[in-house]
Structure 1
Amino acid sequence: MLKGFREFVLRGNVIDLAVAVVIGAAFTAIVTGLVTGIFNPLISLIFDSSDVAKAGIVLRAASPGHEAVVLAWGAVISAIIQFVLIAAAVYFGLIVPMNYLKKVQLRKKPAEEAPATPALTETELLVQIRDLLKERDPGTPAQ
Structure 2
Amino acid sequence: MGMMQEFKEFAVKGNVVDMAVGIIIGGAFGKIVSSFVKDVIMPPIGMILGGVDFSNLAITLKEAAGETPAVLLSYGKFIQSVVDFTIIAFAIFIAVKAINNMKKKEEAKPADPPKQEVLLEEIRDLLKEQK
The normalised TM-score by structure 2 is 0.54
1:3 aligns with 2:21: no
CA contact (8 A) 1:59 1:71 kept: yes
Partner of 2:31, secondary structure, is helix
Aligned equivalent of 2:54: 55
CA contact (8 A) 1:57 1:71 kept: yes
CA contact (8 A) 2:55 2:74 kept: no
For 2:6 and 2:97, locate their aligned partners in 1 and report how far apart those are by CA, in whole Å: 35
1:32-47 mapped onto 2 (5 Å cutoff): 32-47=34-49
Regions of 4+ moved over 6 Å: none
**CA distance 1:36–1:87, change in 2 (3 Å):** same
Count residues in correspondence: 95
1:58 Cα offset (Å):
5.2
1:111-126 mapped onto 2 (5 Å cutoff): none
The residue identity in structure 1 corresponding to 2:42 is: N
Partner of 2:50, secondary structure, is coil
1:84 Cα offset (Å):
2.6
For 1:70 and 1:3, locate their aligned partners in 2 and report how far apart those are by CA, in whole Å: 50
Gaps of 5+ in 2: 64-69, 108-131
1:77 aligns with 2:83: yes
Task: Give the alignment's Cα RMSD to 1 decimal.
Answer: 3.5
Select the structure of larger CA radius of gyration.
1
For 2:89 and 2:19, locate their aligned partners in 1 and report how far apart those are by CA, in whole Å: 20
Query: What percentage of aligned pairs have identical amino acids?
Result: 28
For 2:88 and 2:74, locate their aligned partners in 1 and report how far apart those are by CA, in whole Å: 25
